[in-house]
Amino acid sequence: MQSAMFLAVQHDCRPMDSSSGSGHKSEEKREKMKRTLLKDWKTRLSYFLQNSSTPGKPKTGKKSKQQAFIKPSPEEAQLWSEAFDELLASKYGLAAFRAFLKSEFCEENIEFWLACEDFKKTKSPQKLSSKARKIYTDFIEKEAPKEINIDFQTKTLIAQNIQEATSGCFTTAQKRVYSLMENNSYPRFLESEFYQDLCKKPQITTEPHAT
């Protein structure tokens, strides 16, 4: 279902215009499917967190990854609204944002950004070259499985740069995608019901005193 939806939704998460009758029906179907996914995206997040915190064999003597995904306090969650970087710096916040982007059919943006972050940390020239080619085939080239929305000139420049890969091969594209998420998806995430729930402080109820 997800792959079909990529054909119906632009990579910057904005729905395409429809002027014909068939286009209107297609849009209605797309919106219905999107509402269904938005309804259960909390379940997606729960599964994502659980799946991300299962390294295989538990390590003894060290904190498990499960502990790294403890639900944040309302105060911690509210910090995410101060800056996009605050959200990305939080493991739980990043996982929540990825699940949100998945519900909007544009998770390729955060996946590309994360791939670039990992790429920049690579020291080995051999690994740098192989990772550059994989990022290019996954996200950059025409009809890539997770093609991101960048201009033709940037794509051409990247194709040239990966011939002799350096840590700055994808800098321009990463900045473009970061800006896209910060200006489009991030504000919608902050308005989402899930995020608003995280920011709510639990109400303290007091039992009436007996007279």
Q: What string of DSSP letters covers 156-205?
A: HHHHHHGGG--TTTTHHHHHHHHHHIIIIIHHHHHHSHHHHHHHPPPPPP
Are 83 and 60 in contact by the 8 Å Cβ rule? The answer is no
pLDDT beneath 50, residues of the chain: 1-11, 14-19, 52-67
- Residue 23 falls inside a structural domain: no
Side-chain half-sphere CA neighbours of 161 within 13 A: 20
Residue 36's pLDDT is 61
Residue listed under structure tokens 């991101």: 148
pLDDT at 33: 63
Domain count, the chain: 1
d(CA 149, CA 172): 12
**In which domain, by residue range, is 146 found?**
70-199
In the prediction, which pLDDT does 18 show? 45
Classify residue 13: in a domain, yes or no.
no
Model-wide pTM > 0.75: no
In 24-123, which ranges are E strands?
Answer: none
pLDDT at 3: 40
pLDDT digits (tens, 9 = 90+) for 135-151: 999 999 999 999 999 99
User: In this predicted structure, what is the pLDDT of residue 127?
Assistant: 94
Neighbours of 59 (CB within 10 A): 10
* CATH for 130: 1.10.167.10
Residue 5 falls inside a structural domain: no
In this structure, are residues 120 and 73 in contact, taking their beta carbons and an 8 Å threshold?
A: no
Determine, yes or no, domain membership for 103: yes
Sign of CA dihedral 114, 3, 99, 79: positive
Calpha distance 98→120 (Å, rounded): 21
